[in-house]
Chains A and B, each alone.
Chain A
Amino acid sequence: MLQIIQPAQLAFPEPVEASVIAPYLFVSAAMFVIGLVGFLTRKNMIIMFLCTELMFQAAGLALIAFGRHHLGADGQTFVIFVLCVAAAEAAMALALVVLLFRHRESLGASAWKELNG
């Protein structure tokens, strides 16, 4: 009879305590807040974009930490996805920023408010 062994069990045979992952979560939270504040306060679209990336990675870090805590592969899988999306997004976003810059000769986000009610 063939025994099916989970890969996660091979590497990390034991789940860890919540206190073990706490520092990771603190770092993650700090990164997220820095990103958020940056996004809300900076005018430059490129900087704002960078801030969103920061928030992404903060979430990714938290996911990995929780994944370890629960001893599941889901967190890591998600992070892979997030990285992929972020990469694709970076390309898209920079292209858009360039396009927008060409229209208004400005990188300021406040140059665009056509959607006001």
Chain B
Amino acid sequence: MSLEVWSLLALIFLPAIVGVLIGLVKNEENAYRIALATTLALCVPAVGLLGAFDFSNASTSQFEHSIPWVPGLGLEFSIGMDSVSLLLILLSVLLGPIVVLASKTAITKDRRMYYAWLTVLQGAMVGVFAAQDLLLFYICFEFTLLPMFILIRKYGSTNRIAASTKFFLYTFTGSMMTLAGLMYVVWFVAQDAQLGRWTLDIAALTHYAGDMSLTEQGWVLAAMLAGFAVKVPLFPVHTWLPLAHTEAPTAGSVILAGVLLKLGTYGFYRFAVPLAPEAFFEYAPAIAILAIIGIIYAGLICWVQDDIKKLVAYSSVSHLGFCILGLTALNVTGFSGSILYMLSHGFSTGGLFLMIGFMYERYHTRDMNEVGGLASKMPVWATFMVFFAMASVGLPGLNGFPSELLCLISAFQSDAAWNAAGEPGAWGASLGPWFAVFAGTGMVIAAMYLLYMVGKICFGAYKEPADHHPHDELPTDLNTREIITLTPLAIGCVLFGLQPTLLLDAVSDPVNNTVRIVERANGIEPGEASPRLIINEHADDQANDHGGDSHD
């Protein structure tokens, strides 16, 4: 095994091992120190992987390693990554030290268990993105629930019991259905004459799954949506998120917004699209409509919140609508924008959650009617707050903008009527300008609620809760530790805003590949004159010989 594989294994298993050790240490302060040291140390192999990754070959899975697990069923412990996974792994690892640092004063009781689970969660998240085997993916995917459940259940605020229960049961129920759908694909591929053996290898499944009929794909898609859409969360199945976010400790919220929600969109990108390409194409407009409803509906709900954390939580629902919109456009711009969104959303929203956490530690309230005008007491805090709010609004030059721009453009583009030449990679599903127009109103609404929040809490006359008294350890404004916590996120915001090309180049190959999968499954070949016509023909003879032209 190469050094890179060892690094990857370390990223997955070291946190789990250290998590157990943290549970065993005597001194609670040491728990914090070990967790911080571990999460920081994990950045080394992560950066090493980044350095070793061959970006000229970004769509092939690299650092692959597989250990037979249950050979009869084709089950393997198989890991590896393409550039999309790599970037998401980096995001997860980077958030580790940040959330540990942010928890130093926020968590005061039973810290061993807290840091133990926080560390374990790190490994599970990396596992999700690194998995090349369907079952391994699923195991890690589900395993992330457990640490998060405990973090909310034990360290959340007043309504934490209900929040954690709902979080666990809601997402778990959804993902059980996803499992069923995924297993159907496995079964189908095993029956497929072309392969004829059991396999859970994601690449192999992706290759053969397109043979399923449209009806089969529709059911598989529905099953996958049940899990992934809840996780994202998409409009009607989003209600667990505001609750979980509001009740979770700051670190939990950051991880939840930064990575765990991305498991859903990653699932969309990695499984829902390639495993059911025709069905996804067929139902993309419906999913896009849900996403757009989410953008507007959740945005407007944000606008009337009193609870600042709930506001930011709903804003996640609104923002991730753009991410899904980009995915449903099914073209290169859309996928690029969507992946960019997955990466960048964590920075701005994570930043906002940290800001709220720091405020909460000092004022012990999340009610925007109780505090206000903090800019005069906490100028540094207010500066960061305005900065992250602007990043979240989608100000050009910061991280929200490139992804939002690309997602909207892709929606505009993804209609053959606008692309008479039928450029491969450009047209995608049948969305169209109206989708972009309605989704675009999200830009205005985002400005409305975020400025409402900033205006209430940062500006105006200073206001503090009646029983406010200064924190024992923390100064009035942010201390150095807190600023250090925020700095990487702020840098990330600017970097993503000004250099999205770095990321766009990195994910260009996988994205183009995925688009080709969709196009091929739907009968589009490069240089076709009118994709719309071909789709219609294809839909007609679907009943007779589905997928006959899928992979030749």
Within 8 Å by CB, do A and B touch in the complex?
no
Chain A residues engaging chain B, CB cutoff 8 angstroms? none
